[in-house]
Amino acid sequence: MTRRNYEAQQAALTQQRMVGNEQATLQREEAKNSGTSARLITVSEPAGAASEAYRSLRTSLLYTQVDRPTKVLLVTSAGSEEGKTTVCANLGVVLAQAGKNTLIIDCDLRRPAVHKVFGLRNIAGIVDILADERSLSESWQEPLPDLSLKVVTAGPLPPNPAELLSSRRLSQFLAEVRSEFDYVLIDSPPARLVSDPIILATQGDGVLLTLDAQTTRKVDVRRTVRSLTTVGANVLGTVMTNVKGTKQAYY
């Protein structure tokens, strides 16, 4: 390689890096302006290691269940503050980025947080749908208009979450959205704290269990898996967050 060719190649690489950096900066600004949380890493840092991990998770979901597709997926955790809502939101984004018509439902009717991640208002949601006060199309929001992603927030907190989630109306609703969307992701409360996730697990095709690499205890994971499998839930696997030694906090 001549010196001239080498210099031309280095200049091209430098230009590529500059363009890549500019694109990343623009994407971060767009995410900031859209009101989405920094936890939505697949929007703010799409080229980062964490976003790539979510895409790997998407690939596993798309191709490891070919004979028995997992359309309705529950995302939960053993305890609180273990990243389940963040995982649910980012997985929904990467599925939509792959052209999948995706619906995210916040069924954590005790401490809902999906609306915070996407920067949405939590006025009406799944509670209103189950109470037959609003239709699905009247309740969903589209935080990222360029994607086939719809989000149903929790709505007003009910006095009896477990009873509402175990109602026949929820089963009917999930049957309806199953035929309308490619994937339905359900965010739920932690399984070790309340019975809600165990109830929801019987309604879905599979469960993803989120755990914090630094704080989740093995005994809590075993107990949670036992509780889920006892009711016949299909535990697909675990997603580990807050792993040390990575640039991003996830995976």
pLDDT in tens, 201-226: 999 999 999 999 999 999 999 999 99
Q: What is the mean pLDDT of residues 101-126?
A: 97
Rg, the chain, Cα only: 20
pLDDT of the residue at 2: 52
Q: What is the pLDDT of residues 178-189, one digit of tens each?
A: 999 999 999 999
What does pTM read for this prediction? 0.83
Q: How far is CA 245 from the centre of its chain?
A: 23
pLDDT of the residue at 66: 66
Distances (CA, A) of 217 to 13, 58, 210, 224: 46, 26, 12, 11
With a cut of 50, say whether residue 28 has pLDDT above it: no
pLDDT of the residue at 107: 97
Q: Across the chain, what does the average pLDDT equal?
A: 86
With a cut of 80, say whether residue 1 has pLDDT above it: no
pLDDT of the residue at 26: 38
Burial (CB count <10 Å: 0-12, 13-18, 19+), residue 16 = exposed
Q: With cut-offs at 50, 70 and 90, classify the pLDDT of residue 228.
A: very high
Beta strands in the chain (DSSP E): 72-77, 102-106, 149-152, 183-187, 206-212, 235-241
Q: What is the pLDDT of residues 49-100, one digit of tens each?
A: 999 999 999 999 888 766 777 899 999 999 999 999 999 999 999 999 999 9
pLDDT of the residue at 27: 41
